[in-house]
Amino acid sequence: MTAGPEAAYRRLLRAYPASWRRRHADAVLGTLLDQADAEGRSAVSVADVRDILGHGLLARLHLLLDVVPGRVRAVAGTAALGSGAGLCLALLLLGEWLPPWAPPSTREAGFGPFLTVGPLLYAAWLLAVAASLLRHPRLARSLLGAATLAAVVLPHVVANAYPYAGVERPSSTALAPLAVLGLLVLAAPPSRPSPAVVAATAIGTVAAVGGPMLPLWLSGGSPFPVRDFFYYAYAHHLAVSAAVLLAAGLLAAVAALVARRPAYAGGALLALLPWAVLLLAVWRRISTQGMSALEPLVVVAGVGAALAVLGGLRALGVRVRL
Amino acid sequence: MGATEMREPSFLILTALAGGPLHGYAVIAEVAQMSQGRVRLRAGTLYAALERLAAEGLVASSGEQVVDGRLRRYFRLTDEGEQALTLEARRLRENADRAVARLRTARSRVAPA
């Protein structure tokens, strides 16, 4: 074997993080060279390039995720799975579905009986929860990956316009927390999620998000408010929803600390992130409407939630490498 | 392992190590031979799987050797790994037995009188 493939393989192995290379690079290099010899190659194969680059990048991603311990991520992932189901259910039934008493003007544009393409995303999430509970982790991961990607990409590819025409998407105010929830689940997909935790977080989120929407949905006044819920005057209701969820999460974290379950406490704190994001998203929307009275409250709550997450993780002895 | 099924590459790697400690390329060669060339592991995939199996306590490092200037790291099956492999092999055999029995019953039903 010439020095050619060895030097090339060494360069390729730089795809892995330095700490991984210190532990494994020489052993992997030996295996790569043995395999090249056995296959009669004196050059790096395309399959090796793809394999090493892919696994190297995954190793770097894991290093990033390992900032938070696996147990904490697993608890946050399970809570986020349930919370996402609650958010999707509330948005699907109360934010998107037009009831029979909706005025005809609200049906000018839409997606079947729904206002936007959002139900596709919500349905993917709800199916992912079912797949996860029925122990089909790969299917659950695929569906969650698709839903998360859609939540990130939709605001950039579909521009909602007034007057309503063509295909619309849900407001980015609703998609932002959903994207964060998706990332939390994908960071630690629970292989055996606790149905009790999933159900409790789902019910809590349906109540917190759906509560303020229900009277509006039932009233069906003109202009029918649900379409505008995330865009205009009702955004402050979502600030209340986010505040309720942040408070509930903080209480759950304190209860877990009292019960000496630090991983649960850390997980509960980490699972607050989407609701802090929702608060910030609502703040952004309210600011553009000149409703700045809520700004200080939203900023304080958002910063407080972020500090609570960081402080809680630090108290638990979580390593933070920046 | 928990109640979830083991992926085929993991199953084949553990099976390869059931015969005794092997170094990286020897595992790749054994897996290819056992699967009749169907599963051809690349080095990155192999070490990612070995790292995961080691984290689960199913395999462990079993020393290193330098041959022709190349480092060879050996891996062995742990007691837990042996137990997990036994359970998975039993699960696969039971599934296969059930499939064969059902096919036999179905064939006997459709067979002309």
Q: Which residue of A has its CA nearest to B47?
A: A28
Residue of A12, A23, A33, A34 to mutate, testing the B interface (most B Cβ within 10 Å of its Cβ): A34
Cβ distance B43 to A191 less than 8 Å, yes or no, reads no
Residue A1's pLDDT is 44
**Chain B residues near residue A52 by CB distance under 8 angstroms:** 42-44
Furthest C-alpha separation in chain B: 70
Q: Is residue A322 part of a domain?
A: no
Contacts of A29 in chain B (CB under 8 A): 70-71
Q: Which of A63, A84, A110 is the last residue of a domain?
A: A63
DSSP label at A146? H
Q: Which domain holds residue A11?
A: 3-63
Interface residues of chain A, partner chain B, Cβ below 8 Å: 24, 26-35, 38, 47-48, 51-52, 54-56, 58-59, 135, 137, 191-192
Contact indicator for B76, B69 with CB cutoff of 8 Å: no
Cβ within 8 Å, pair B72-A27: yes
Q: Please give the Cα distance from A264 to A261 (Å, whole number).
A: 5
Shared domain for A187 and A270, answered yes or no, is yes
C-alpha A1/C-alpha A77 separation (Å) is 47
Q: Domains in chain B, please, with CATH?
A: 8-110 (1.10.10.10)
Residues A48 and A156 in one domain: no
Do B71 and A27 lie within an 8 Å CB cutoff? Answer: yes
Query: Which of A63, A83, A104 is the last residue in one of the domains?
Result: A63
pLDDT of residue A296: 59
CA B105 to chain CA mean position, Å? 31
Question: In the 8-state DSSP scheme, what is residue A97?
Answer: B
Q: Are A218 and A264 members of one domain?
A: yes
Residues of B in contact with A48 (CB under 8 A): 42-44
Q: What is the pLDDT of residue A107?
A: 59
Whether residues A108 and A212 fall in one domain = yes
Same domain as A81, residue A24: no
Residues A7 and A138 placed together within one structural domain of the fold = no
Q: Which of A28, A63, A98 is the last residue of a domain?
A: A63
Which residues pair with residue A111 across a beta bridge? A114
A58 and A92 within one domain: no
CB pairs < 8 Å spanning A and B: 69
Question: pLDDT tens, B22-64?
Answer: 999 999 999 999 999 999 999 999 999 999 999 889 999 999 9
Residue A12 lies in a domain: yes
For the purposes of burial, counting CB atoms within 10 Å of the CB of A96, is it exposed (0-12), middle (13-18) or buried (19 or more)?
buried
CA triple A217-A221-A226, angle to 5 deg: 40
Cβ-based interface (< 8 Å): residues of B facing A: 2-4, 23-25, 28-29, 42-48, 51, 64, 67, 70-73
| Domain shared by A300 and A168, yes or no | yes
Q: Which residue has the tokens 């596709």?
A: A120
Indicate the SS3 state at residue B68.
Answer: coil
DSSP A94: I
- Domain contains A123: yes
* d(C-alpha A239, C-alpha A20), whole Å: 43
pLDDT the model gives residue A189: 77
Q: Do residues B28 and B16 touch, judged by C-beta distance below 8 A? A: no
Same domain for A58 and A153, yes or no, is: no
Same domain, A118 and A54: no
Amino acid A222: pLDDT: 47
Give the rounded percent of residues in chain B with a pLDDT score beyond 70: 93
Contacts of B45 in chain A (CB under 8 A): 51, 55
Q: Which residue of B has its CA nearest to A53?
A: B44
Per-residue pLDDT, B103: 92
pLDDT for residue A164: 58
- Chain A residues whose CB is inside 8 A of the B73 CB are 27, 30
The dihedral region occupied by B73, where left means phi > 0, alpha psi between -120 and 50, and beta the remainder, is beta
Closest approach of chain B CAs to the CA of A75, in angstroms?
18
What are the DSSP E strand ranges found in B5-84? 22-23, 59-67, 70-77
Taking an 8 Å cut-off on Cβ atoms, the answer to whether A48 and B43 are in contact is: yes
**Around Cβ A176, how many Cβ atoms within 10 Å?**
20
Q: Where are the alpha helices (DSSP H) in B74-113?
A: 79-110
Helical packing angle, A172-187 and A273-288, nearest 10°? 160
CA of residue B36 relative to chain centroid, distance? 14
- Separation in Å, CA of A241 to nearest CA in chain B: 37
Closest-CA residue to A159 (of A213, A231, A68): A231
Disruptive mutation site among B5, B23, B25 for chain A (greatest number of A CBs within 10 Å)? B25
Q: Which residues from chain B sit within 8 angstroms of residue A54, using beta carbons?
A: 44
A293: DSSP letter:
G
Claim to verify: residue A43 and residue A84 sit in the same structural domain? no
When scoring B70, B74, B75, B91 by the number of chain A Cβ atoms within 10 A, the one with the most, hence best to mutate, is: B70
Contact A52 B4 (CB under 8 A): no
Q: What is the pLDDT of residue A106?
A: 60
Q: Show pLDDT as tens, one digit a residue, over chain A (322 residues).
A: 445 689 999 999 999 999 999 999 999 999 999 999 999 998 999 999 999 999 999 998 888 777 778 888 889 999 999 999 999 999 888 877 777 776 666 655 566 777 788 889 999 999 999 999 998 888 999 999 999 999 999 888 877 666 556 677 888 888 889 999 999 999 887 778 889 999 999 999 999 988 887 877 777 654 454 555 554 445 667 788 888 999 999 899 889 888 888 888 888 888 998 998 888 877 777 666 555 555 556 666 666 666 666 666 665 555 544 3
Please check whether residues A51 and A146 belong to one and the same domain. Answer: no
DSSP 3-state of A13: helix
- The number of folded domains in chain A is 2
Q: A233-237, A244-248, B68-72, B91-95: lowest mean pLDDT where? A: A233-237
**What separation in angstroms does the CA of A20 have from each of A27, A184, B65?**
11, 24, 20
Instruction: Flag whether pLDDT at B18 surpasses 90.
Output: yes
Q: Is residue A321 part of a domain?
A: no
Inside any domain, residue A293: yes
The answer to the question of residue A320 being in a domain is no
